[in-house]
Amino acid sequence: MQSPITDPSGAEPLIEFDRVDKSFGDLKVLDKLNFRVDPGERVTLIGPSGSGKTTILRLLMTLEKVTPTADPETEGGVIYVEGKPYSHMEKGGKLVPASERWLRQRRSRVGMVFQQFNLFPNMKVLRNVTEAQVHVAGRSKAEAEAKAGELLELVGLSEKADEYPARLSGGQQQRVAIARALAMDPDILLLDEVTSALDPELVADVLAVLRDVAETTSITMLCVTHEMGFARDVSNRVLMFDNGQIVEQGAPEAIFSEPQEARTQDFLRAVLAE
- Please count the residues of this chain forming the interface with other proteins, following the rule CB under 8 A: 29
Q: Is 188 in the site for other proteins (CB under 8 A)?
A: no
By CB under 8 A, name the one of 5, 121, 141, 251 that touches other proteins.
Answer: 121
Distance of CA 212 to the CA centre of its chain: 17
Helix or strand holding residue 211 (H, E): helix 200-216
- Residue 136, classified by CB atoms within 10 Å of its CB into exposed (0-12), middle (13-18) or buried (19+), is exposed
Residue 25 touches other proteins, criterion: CB under 8 A: no
If the CB atoms of residues 84 and 94 are measured against other proteins, the closer one turns out to be 84
Is 178 a residue that touches other proteins (CB under 8 A)?
Answer: no
Q: In what order do the strands lie in the sheet with 110-113?
A: 110-113, 188-192, 220-224, 42-46, 237-242, 245-250
d(CA 253, CA 228): 11
Does position 240 bind other proteins by CB under 8 A?
no
Interface region with other proteins, contact rule CB under 8 A, candidates 77-85, 116-124, 202-210, 247-255: 116-124
- Kindly state whether residue 179 participates in binding other proteins, applying the rule CB under 8 A: no
**Among the listed residues 17, 35, 80, 114, the single contact to other proteins using CB under 8 A:** 114
Q: State yes or no: residue 4 binds other proteins (CB under 8 A).
A: no
- Binding of residue 118 to other proteins (CB under 8 A): yes
Task: Based on the shown chain and the rule CB under 8 A, indicate whether residue 170 belongs to the binding site for other proteins.
Answer: no
Binding window for other proteins (CB under 8 A); candidates: 43-51, 78-86, 178-186, 231-239:
178-186
Residue 178 · residue 205 · CB < 8 Å:
no
Listed in sequence order, the residues at least 6 apart from 165 whose beta carbon sits closer than 8 Å to its beta carbon are 117, 119, 120, 121, 123, 125, 128, 173, 176
Task: Indicate which single residue of 89, 151, 178, 181 sits in contact with other proteins (rule: CB under 8 A).
Answer: 181
Please check whether residue 239 is in contact with residue 44, taking contact to mean a CB–CB distance below 8 angstroms: yes
In single-letter form, the type of residue at position 159 comes to E
CA distance 53 to 68: 19
CB of 259 to other proteins, least distance (A): 33
Under the binding rule (CB under 8 A), the answer on residue 123 touching other proteins is: yes
Give the three-class secondary structure for 112. Answer: strand
Q: Are strands 84-85 and 188-192 parallel, antiparallel or unpaired?
A: unpaired
- Rounded to whole angstroms, how far apart are CA atoms 89 and 189? 22
Question: Residues 33-72: x/- map of binding to other proteins (CB under 8 A)?
Answer: ----------------------------xxx---------
Contacting range for other proteins; rule: CB under 8 A; set: 18-26, 36-44, 160-168, 219-227: 160-168
Among 43, 78, 79, 119, indicate the residue that binds other proteins (CB under 8 A): 119
Burial label for 8, CB within 10 Å (0-12, 13-18, 19+), is exposed
Determine the interface stretch with other proteins among 8-16, 38-46, 102-110, 201-209 (rule: CB under 8 A): 102-110
Binding site for other proteins (CB under 8 A): 61-63, 104, 107-108, 110-112, 114, 116-123, 131-132, 135-136, 164-167, 180-181, 184
